[in-house]
Structure 1
Amino acid sequence: MNGDWLLRGRDGRLTVYLPSDDAVLCRAELAPGGAWEAPRRIGGEQRLRPGPAVGQGADGYAHLVAWRPTGNGESGLVHSTHFRPRLAPLDWVPVGHPGKKGDRTGTPAVAVDDRGRAHVFVRTRGGGVSVLAQREKGGWEPWADLGGEDVHEQLTAVTGESGRVELYAAVPGGILHWRQEEPGKQPVRAGGVDVPVQPGTLRALATSAGRTTLFFTDERGELCAWRPGDEPVSLVAAAGPGPVSAVRCDIEGHDCTVLAQRSASGRVAFAAYPTEREPAGAWWTESGPQLPADGTVSVALDEHGEVVAASHAPSTGTLLLTRRKDEPGLALWAWREI
Structure 2
Amino acid sequence: MVRTVNGDWLIRARDGRLGVYATRDEAVWCRAERRPGGGTWLPWRKVGGDQRLHPGLAVGHGADGYAHLVSWRPTKAKEAGLAHSTHFRVHLAALDWSAVGHPDRTGARTGIPAVAVDAEGRAHVFVGNRGNGVHALIQKERGGWNAWSGLTGSDVHEELAAVTGESGRVELYGTNPDGILRWLQEEAGAPPVPADPLPVRVEPGTLSALSTSKEHTTLFFADPEGMLYAWRPDTDPTPLLAAAGPGPAALLRCTLDGHDCTLLAQRSASGRVAFAACPTEQESAGLWWTESGPQLPVGTAVALAEDADGRIVAATVTPDGELRIARQKDEPGLALAAWQEV
Indicate the TM-score class for this superposition, using the shorter chain for normalisation: over 0.9
Deviation at 1:220, TM superposition (A): 2.1
Structure-2 separation of matches of 1:49 and 1:156: 20
Aligned match of 1:28: 32
Instruction: Describe the SS at the equivalent of 1:279.
Output: helix
Aligned match of 1:327: 331
Structure-1 separation of matches of 2:80 and 2:47: 18
Range 49-58 or range 178-187, more displaced: 178-187
Q: Is the 8 A contact 1:170 1:197 kept in 2?
A: yes
Aligned match of 1:96: 101
TM-score w.r.t. length of structure 2: 0.97
Q: Residue 293 of structure 1 is aligned with which of 292, 298, 303?
A: 298
Aligned match of 2:77: 72
Q: Is the 8 A contact 2:140 2:189 kept in 1?
A: no
Structure 2 matches for 1:240-259, cutoff 5 A? Answer: 240-259=245-264
Deviation at 1:309, TM superposition (A): 0.7
Structure 2 matches for 1:129-208, cutoff 5 A? Answer: 129-208=134-213
Deviation track 1:203-229 (CA, whole Å, cap 9, x = no partner) reads 111000031011111122111111122
Range 87-96 or range 29-38, more displaced: 29-38
Q: Residue 90 of structure 2 is aligned with which of 85, 89, 92?
A: 85
Q: Is the 8 A contact 1:176 1:191 kept in 2?
A: yes
Deviation at 1:28, TM superposition (A): 0.6
Letter of the 1:283 partner, please give it: W
Deviation at 1:231, TM superposition (A): 1.4
Deviation track 1:171-190 (CA, whole Å, cap 9, x = no partner) reads 11300000111222221101
Q: Is the 8 A contact 1:112 1:118 kept in 2?
A: yes
Could you list the structure 1 runs, at least 4 aligned residues long, displaced by more than 3 angstroms after superposition: none
Letter of the 2:325 partner, please give it: L
Structure 2 matches for 1:202-241, cutoff 5 A? Answer: 202-241=207-246
Letter of the 2:8 partner, please give it: D
Structure-1 separation of matches of 2:290 and 2:314: 14
1:261 and 2:266 are equivalent in the alignment: yes
Q: What residue ranges of structure 1 are gaps of 5+ in the alignment? A: none
Aligned match of 1:336: 340
Aligned match of 1:276: 281
Deviation at 1:142, TM superposition (A): 0.1
1:123 and 2:125 are equivalent in the alignment: no
1:12 and 2:37 are equivalent in the alignment: no
Superposition RMSD in Å:
0.8
Q: Is the 8 A contact 1:249 1:306 kept in 2?
A: no
Letter of the 1:37 partner, please give it: L
1:53 and 2:73 are equivalent in the alignment: no
Letter of the 1:284 partner, please give it: W
Letter of the 2:129 partner, please give it: T
Q: Is the 8 A contact 2:249 2:265 kept in 1?
A: yes
Deviation at 1:78, TM superposition (A): 0.1
Q: Residue 106 of structure 1 is aligned with which of 106, 111, 121?
A: 111
Q: Is the 8 A contact 2:152 2:193 kept in 1?
A: no
Q: Is the 8 A contact 2:172 2:184 kept in 1?
A: yes
Deviation at 1:21, TM superposition (A): 2.5
TM-score w.r.t. length of structure 1: 0.98
Count of matched residue pairs? 337
Letter of the 1:12 partner, please give it: G
Structure-1 separation of matches of 2:329 and 2:50: 40
Q: Is the 8 A contact 1:192 1:228 kept in 2?
A: no
Aligned match of 2:45: 40
Structure-1 separation of matches of 2:312 and 2:93: 26
Structure-2 separation of matches of 1:86 and 1:329: 31
Structure-1 separation of matches of 2:234 and 2:68: 30
Structure-1 separation of matches of 2:229 and 2:242: 9
Deviation track 1:10-48 (CA, whole Å, cap 9, x = no partner) reads 111000001112111001111012211111101222111
Structure-2 separation of matches of 1:193 and 1:21: 39
Deviation at 1:298, TM superposition (A): 0.4
Structure-1 separation of matches of 2:53 and 2:178: 32
Structure 1 vs Structure 2: percent identity of aligned residues? Answer: 64
Letter of the 1:25 partner, please give it: W
Structure-1 separation of matches of 2:112 and 2:328: 32
Structure-2 separation of matches of 1:143 and 1:182: 17
